[in-house]
Amino acid sequence: MKKYIRPQEIAKNLNIDVATVWRWVNAGILPKPFKPTQRTTVFDAEQVQAALDKIQFEQAKAQS
């Protein structure tokens, strides 16, 4: 079963502002969300985790 995460949860988990989540989406850092209902926006949790893992890997690679 797929898990979904709301933009506010991503911001809280990463200790960033929700506006930063949207900036990262626009910059292609995070995957595009989808709207299961008119008033709800969610991200696929696996895709978000994969994007964050990629960022972490690239940062580690740059430091070595």
- Alpha-carbon distance of 1 to 22, in angstroms, equals 26
Domains of the chain plus CATH, in order, are 4-63 (1.10.1660)
Q: What pLDDT score does 57 carry? A: 84
Q: What pLDDT score does 58 carry? A: 84
Residue 45 φ/ψ, nearest 5 degrees: -60, -35
Instruction: Give the residues across from 48 on adjacent strands.
Output: none
DSSP 28-64: TSS---EEEETTEEEEEHHHHHHHHHHHHHHHHHHH-
Local confidence pLDDT in tens for the 64 residues of the chain: 899 999 999 999 999 999 999 999 999 999 999 999 999 999 999 999 999 999 888 888 888 7
- Alpha-carbon distance of 5 to 57, in angstroms, equals 22
